[in-house]
Amino acid sequence: MNPHGEKVGYMINIENPEINFALNAVRQAALLVHLIQREMISPALTKEDRSPVTVADFASQALVAYLLQQIFPDDMLVAEEDATELRANQHTLEKVTGFVRHQIPNATHESVCDWIDLGNGSIGSRFWTLDPIDGTKGFLRGDQYAVALALIIDGEAQVAALGCPNLSDAYRLDPGGPGSLVITGRDQGSWTTELDNPKSFQRLRVSSVSDPSQARILRSFESGHTNVGQIDHFATAMGVQAEPVRLDSQAKYAVLAAGKGDLLLRLLSAQRPDYREKIWDQAAGSLVLEEAGGKISDLGGKPLDFTTGRSLTSNRGILASNTLLHSAALRALGEIGA
């Protein structure tokens, strides 16, 4: 046993069919979107041109849906994109199909659209949820983004994977590095390996910071996805000294799971007080965090409820932590009225 009470030499079972599928599908999709990022994003690209992320989003979803259909043909997929607009846009469809053919040589325009539409699956007792690119703005900026996939059974995430091409060792911001693949299964811990070359796996553990003044807060890079003024009030209420770290996507959960951050806040923006989180934005990251010893709830302390549809309609915002700081953070959120 090590100091955390875990069996030494223990390793996640990557031969388990669901874990094996999640690992391979997310790895292939993350490598493909990374290739698209390198090939399509150039200094000549204007700020308004979102075509690289559009192509990468569709290609990633087509590939994961195709692989799911091969391995688990009866399983439902609930994913962010659908192919309605793509079917009418020949130019984009050609690009998407071209990239999908890197992995599936016989892909056609029609089959690519059909695979993408497998993501319209229904939410039942067992389904997968996919964000083909979480953090699209980070992708376009050359910062952080993630491919995020989770298996949900009876409302609980059971298996999850995050593919983060611009993150090394699950926490270092390292565009051009080997990238991180994070894989987890319930009661099996969270583990990371190199996306480029998945050989050895390291176990992830949350930090042991229990003094609120020492907490490192992780927040969205995009100010419109959170409430920056309230985060400042929260930091003051907790006595936090360091500036919050801005990071796109569920890469934040990998960093928290790796013990390199202590609190993650998704506060409701003043422009969108009615915003409810999408399940594909939280399912994979939440299991990665819990299996590393962390805790996740909404801003009122309620557990996330993945049975309510494509959005978490019974939950408001997100608080995630290393567990030790959770109660103090909930109290501070109550004090500032978040």
Residues lying near ligand AMP in the complex (CB under 6 A): 134-135, 220-222, 224-225, 248-249, 269, 272, 275, 278, 281
Nearer to Mg ion, 80 or 298 (CB): 80
**Can you tell me the distance from the alpha carbon of 179 to that of 181, in angstroms, rounded to the nearest whole number?**
7
Q: Is 248 in the site for Mg ion (CB under 5 A)?
A: no
Q: Count the helix, strand and coil residues of the chain and give each as a percent rounded to the nearest 5.
A: 35, 20, 45
Strands (E), 220-315: 245-246, 263-266, 295-297
Site stretch for Mg ion (CB under 5 A), options 92-100, 134-142, 162-170, 237-245:
134-142
> Residue 205 CB: number of other CB atoms within 10 A?
20
Tokens 């389904």 identify what position? 127
Nearest CB to Mg ion, comparing residues 117 and 131: 131
User: With CB under 5 A, what is the number of residues at the site for Mg ion?
Assistant: 3
Q: Is 134 in the site for Mg ion (CB under 5 A)?
A: yes
Tell me how far apart the alpha carbons of residues 37 and 156 are, in angstroms, rounded to a whole number.
33
Catalytic residue, chosen from 57, 131, 143, 248, is 57
Query: What's the Cα-to-Cα distance from 27 to each of 15, 149, 190, rounded to whole Å?
Result: 15, 11, 16
Minimal distance in Å, beta carbon 292 to ligand AMP?
18
How many CB atoms neighbour CB 6 within 10 A?
13
Partner from ligand AMP, Mg ion, none contacting 220, C-beta within 5 to 8 A by type: ligand AMP
Angle between helices 51-71 and 17-40 (to 10 degrees): 160
**Least Å distance between CB 154 and ligand AMP?**
25
The residue from 131, 143, 277, 291 that contacts Mg ion (CB under 5 A) is 131
What residue type is assigned to position 37 of the chain? Q
Nearer to ligand AMP, 222 or 232 (CB): 222
For ligand AMP, give the closer residue by CB, 50 or 278.
Answer: 278
Minimal distance in Å, beta carbon 247 to ligand AMP? 7
Shortest distance in whole angstroms from residue 146 CB to Mg ion: 8
Which residues in the 268-327 window bind Mg ion by CB under 5 A? Answer: 281
Least distance in Å: CB of 291 to ligand AMP? 20
Q: From the candidates 97, 129, 136, 192, which is the catalytic residue?
A: 136
How many CA atoms does the CB half-sphere of 112 hold within 13 Å? 27
Is there a catalytic annotation at residue 274? no
- To the query of whether residue 136 is one of the catalytic residues in this protein, the response is yes
Question: Residue 117 binds which one of ligand AMP, Mg ion, none, with CB within 5 to 8 A depending on kind?
Answer: none
* Residue with the CB atom nearest ligand AMP in the bound state: 220
Q: What is the largest CA-CA distance in the chain?
A: 58
Taking the mean position of all CA atoms in its chain, how far away is CA 202? 19
Question: Minimum CB separation from Mg ion for residue 337, in Å?
Answer: 27
Name residues whose C-beta falls within 8 Å of residue 56's C-beta, 6 or more positions apart in sequence.
32, 33, 36, 37, 40, 99, 132, 133, 139
The binding site for Mg ion (CB under 5 A) comprises: 131, 134, 281
Any idea which residues carry the catalytic annotation?
Answer: 57, 136
